[in-house]
Chain A
Amino acid sequence: MEPLDRDLEEGLLELPSEPMMLNMGPSHPAMHGTVRIVLELSGEQILKADVQIGYLHRGFEKMCERGTWSQVFPYVDRCNYVSPMLNNVGYALAVEKMLGVTVPERCQYYRVVLGELARLCDHMICSGAMCMELGAFTPFLYYARARENIWDIFEEETGARVTHSFGRVGGMASPPTKYFKDMVRAAVPRVIALIVEGEKMLLKNRIFLDRLEGVGVMSKEDALALGWTGVVLRASGVPYDVRKAHPYMVYDRMDFDVPVGTAGDNYDRFMCRQEEIRQSARIIEQALAQMPDDGPINIDDPRVVMPPKNDVYTTIEATIQHFKIVMEGLKVPAGECYSYTEAGNGELGFYLVSDGSGTPFRVRIRPPCFASTQGLEQLIKGAMIPDVVPTFGSLNMIGGECDH
């Protein structure tokens, strides 16, 4: 029999081949619905990736130019639909910055609590979806069940579970209900308990850790240059949180920590999100304790805030006020402004241009996950196809926000 180990030249063993193009298409279970990644592969390894977004482009900026300033709220809700309250608050703050008004304190606490509840939902679902895509279906179900608790609160307060459109310029659509504080205080510990249960299943699992650790590493300088903000930036080691760096509303009265990672890999992003969930719970607790139980929610400016419905039907002033705000829109002084808040994914910016009328001239949303998804190509180059799934999941790309 011939010996098996014959001396062969290395070159003879390599088969010449062209790299294979694989399309992780726009309809894909792990692509969060709407991203197409065209991969150039050599075997299982990715040589080049072309991330194509825009499959959920719904013309947000063009639609805003066709209504009034208040009619933007439903559109803005549907941008980051996992944490819609944060978008509402961000946009309301932007218009209020241009108007030069500050909402009363009770409203600020209300906005903070609802916003942090929305942030809880966002981080939970991001972690849950990432686990589901890795095959761990159970933590996803636990987190989805936990989210139902939070959505019960939103349903009680705003009337809707997902897209509330609850923010208004100069306040909120309606004041907190009688049971608001009790419901939140009852729900948050249950949510945290479910989070802990989910983590118990994951954090000691060798497979889970192997798939996340060391994969999708982004260095600090690259993350800054790419325009990353939020959890993905903090996981790379930069302690930048808009709530601490440029405090807005009553965040400067809250005592909370900002988790910062070291390695900048998927595991760090996952753990930063989990820790932020706990910090959000802390903020909610403090805000509820500090929130006044009575007081106005809306500012007292008839040019901005709608009058109560009773008055609209009985007094002429309220009728005119209602008419002007609905038909012409509230008048924002001409000029431009950029206002930013910490949304679920990072710095959510609104660049508004007004020409002095009730219709926005330009509403530009600066989506945090647009910048994050931009970095995806760099993260997956050189990795294998299975690495794409947790990497993409850990970036928390929300289609509505990325494609606006």
Chain B
Amino acid sequence: MSSFTPYQSIAATRRLLRSKELSPVELLEGLEQQIAAIDPQIGSYVGRDFETAKKEAANVDLSRPLGGIPIGIKDAISVAGQPLQSASKILEGYTAPYDATAVARLRTAGAIPFGRMNMDEFAMGSSTENSAYFPTRNPWALDRIPGGSSGGSAAAVASGTALATLGSDTGGSIRQPASLCGCVGLKPTYGRISRYGLIAFASSLDQIGPLTSTVEDSGLLLNAMAGKDAHDSTSLELPDEDFTAEIGRDLKGLRIGIPKEYFVDGMEPGVRSSVDAAIKQLVSLGAEPVEISLPHTEYAVAVYYIIATAEASANLARFDGVRYGKRSPEAKDLLSLYEKTRAEGFGREVKRRIILGTYVLSSGYYDAYYLRAQKVRTLIRRDFDQAFTKVDAIVSPTSPETAFRFGEKTDDPLKMYLADIFTIATNLAGICGLSLPCGFSNRDGEELPVGLQLLGRPFGESRLLRIGHAYEQATEWNKRHPSLGSLA
């Protein structure tokens, strides 16, 4: 009788479950032991409920696409009956009253949500240092951050304590931690997956997506979650699609764009060399490289931090100590109830962004900041529209650097924001993006994972997964794992 094997793909695990070599309950038991052995040094999980999960596993229909597959869920995505805090003190004591649509669809496909993953508070951050619970450590170097905001989701997959997890990506929050931890992360096209049940950060940018150990697994999760939902009017009605359908096809005839603005001085040398080598590999697999330009790239961070903070300041107005979460015991009247509850409940980065968002929307500044940013957003979107008339996908590093150390950027928010330079424009343009392992960089004597980013036109996920899979099959990067000890 076999048990849980760390880093086994969903596709492989599914075969074992269906052939009865492994039961869904045994799988959960093995996973539970692996988490108990490994996670204390990483801190990916902020909660887990194996009791409920095992009950569900005992009755699961294994013929379904994800029958019996356990999935970890970012603490911003609702799982009915489970605590939900978006890693914030202000939601202490909150229990999600319903399933997010993405979670409900995973259940319909037979998957079992069993744990909640750490993150930056309200998904605001690039290091998971802004969590109200505790920081998550990078499995490759425990003195370094895992990236963020979906840092727990990425670190769990990379440390073999989850087969797959859900994250959310507003400016790179799936792809950047996937890159820094050395796993696969997919940000689908805006509108592809319903946002219902995802605690909103910036509603025009947020998108739920999978983090997995293989490219194919991301496609399997997308298959289960995609589609129109009456509860989210921004989710789109599109023909049914099997996102793994192109997987296995070669890259002949595909053109990959190399944007000169994404290959600039100042990039970590090991990141540069890994991505250059990855491009050569893609070319040797049949892809044709095309130099392209995305001329408004340099404005992306500025535009993002206006639009995202403006939307956040409005979205986070609902946390007022009245309907859910925590209320300050110091409140004397209604105004102090709001002001003190929010002062005690929000962490520093969230406060900073609420204040910035309030500023750019305030009387007299709206046109100069918010409206102008929305117009520059149009220019950024057009850059991609034009690029995609020439190429099938765009290739770049996911992040200009590998994992940095704890505290390295916490005193300088702008420095932290600039770390997202290669992922932010994707969300502004609403297109899809995939990060997958493409090598290692030696940073201060430590070998750290590098991520390759593939960007695709709206609704072009299948093509991205095809390219990513072909690269993955031709290389060994996703077979390398950090040495954390195992169950043996």
A, B from the same assembly: no
Interface residues of A (CB under 8 A from B): none
Interface residues of B (CB under 8 A from A): none
